[in-house]
Chains A and B, each alone.
Chain A
Amino acid sequence: MTVRIVKVDSEKCQGHNRCYAMAPAMFKVDEFGYATPRGDGVLKTEQDLELARRAVDNCPERAISIEEHDEA
């Protein structure tokens, strides 16, 4: 089974807030606006995956990625 995890590269994030605005249940931002995934970032459903892909597509800093791992 493939496990997908959404990640935010904190070196690249400049706090544009696009991810949090479109998926507040998936991302959180600190008082400076920098984003991190909520919890472990594991995308459990197709809707989660869809939403994460949209966040990737809209981040101007290309700070968001979706990692895939194969698990037995």
Chain B
Amino acid sequence: MPAEPVNDWSTDYDIFAREYIRDPFPIWDQLRASSCPVARTDRWGGSWMPTRYEDLVKFARDIQHFSSRNVLVADVMPAPGAEEQELSEEDQQLVQQYDVGAPPITSDPPVHTWSRRLLLPPFSVTSVTKFEPETRELCNALIDGFIANGRADGAADYAQQIPPRVIASMLGIPKEMTSTFTDWVRGFLELGLTDPELRQESGRSIFTFMIEQVQQRKEHPGDDLISYLLAQKVDGEPVPEPHVVGTCFLLLVAGIDTTWSSIGSALWHLALHPEHRTQLIEQPDLIANAVEELLRAYSPVTMARYVAEDVEYAGCPMHEGDKVLMNFPAANRDPSIFDHPDQVILDREKNPHIAFGVGIHRCAGSNLARMEMKVAIQEWLRRIPDFRLEDPHAVTWAGGQVRGPRKMAVVFPS
């Protein structure tokens, strides 16, 4: 069903509109410059949306009013009665027992504090560096698969293949599962945001799979992240098993779509900017800074907050249960913080971007995501220094919660 076209973005925005997904930047500029700093819509269950950097920081820090109990940008209603009819009694018990959400991303303190602390050491710079050689090998194996053809889909054949394999390796899950993961995660976070049945089905598949994996690790612990989580203690007690399942669910969902989107956007940018390819090839030390700049300019992730108590923000009356869209990507193009925000400047000196969020929910996987982006860009440029989009108009983008290219044919001298 084609949605009604948007006339006024400040009172009726649509984050799933085709023009918003393809080119949100002028829309954000318009919203940032308008007199009210918070846009409003009734679409997709209704929400508020700040776009200025300072506002995003304030919303993220005010965890008392803006809870993380629901972080999805759209609320799709389950098909009427579907829930009750489909679930057996046994399943219902299971749902109740495991109803802990996806900690720490859907938690507020105090649960958030310990559940995040559990995750930080395995995702520290030192820990993720151990996966770098393996990631490099993986990127090269993928490139081997298409380099002789002189063309490839930079999104589907490359970007999309990397994060699921790396997280599978960390969790100790067979890498053959990669394409299944990809389908599940897209079904949950991308296509499922506007399709309740698909969303429910995908969520259930990931959940069931994780319960099985956790059971296996309890019997046969290994040198992997699931076994690590099961072995941790909080206040002297083992971490409850539903919590481990919820966190593993999150790691799969949070680490895949996001990172492949940012790798894909980076390649899209480099395909269009030969001068930036040359700059990176001639100055390899620039890569870390370049990754931050690409994250800023093409930030993939918009989260949401749930208004926990009535509050007025900049004159906007927000009511308990309202949704606020945390538009980190728009904040990262705010001209009051970033000089020439619409220009990609690989050696930009001042770049306090919040692509990974800001405040207590700062992306726990950020070091891993940076490592994957760095390696993916380095290996691509080393093997395929010269490439371009086959047809810039044929590139398709996903958006809403996570923005990035999904079909992106590139051609290069073979």
Contact = CB atoms under 8 A, between A and B. Distances in A.
Contact of A18 (B117, B124, B292): B292
A58 B352 contact: yes
A17 B120 CA distance: 12
A57 interface: yes
B272 interface: no
A33 to B, nearest CB: 6
B219 interface: no
A1 B117 CA distance: 42
Assign chain A's interface to a size class: 10 to 19
Interface residues of B, number: 22
Interface string B71-97: 000000000000000000000000000
Contacts of A14: 358-360, 362
A29 B358 contact: no
Contact of A32 (B120, B292, B353): B120
Chain A, interface SS category? loop
Contacts of B360: 14
B356 A16 contact: yes
Interface in B105-133: 117, 120-121, 124-126
Contact of B120 (A16, A31, A58, A60): A31
Given A14-B359, A17-B366, A60-B358, A31 B353 contact: no
A49 to B, nearest CB: 14
> What DSSP secondary structure best describes chain B's contact surface?
loop
A38 interface: no
A54 B120 CA distance: 25
A33 B359 contact: no
Contacts of A59: 352
Contact of A60 (B124, B289, B354): B354
Given A14-B359, A16-B356, A16-B362, A58 B117 contact: no
B351 interface: yes
A21 B124 contact: no
Contacts of A21: 125, 288
B382 interface: no
B350 interface: yes
B200 interface: no
Contact of B366 (A16, A20, A31, A58): A16
Contacts of B354: 60
Given A29-B125, A32-B120, 14 more contacts: A15-B362, A16-B366, A17-B367, A18-B352, A20-B125, A31-B120, A33-B125, A54-B350, A57-B350, A58-B351, A58-B352, A59-B352, A60-B358, A62-B352
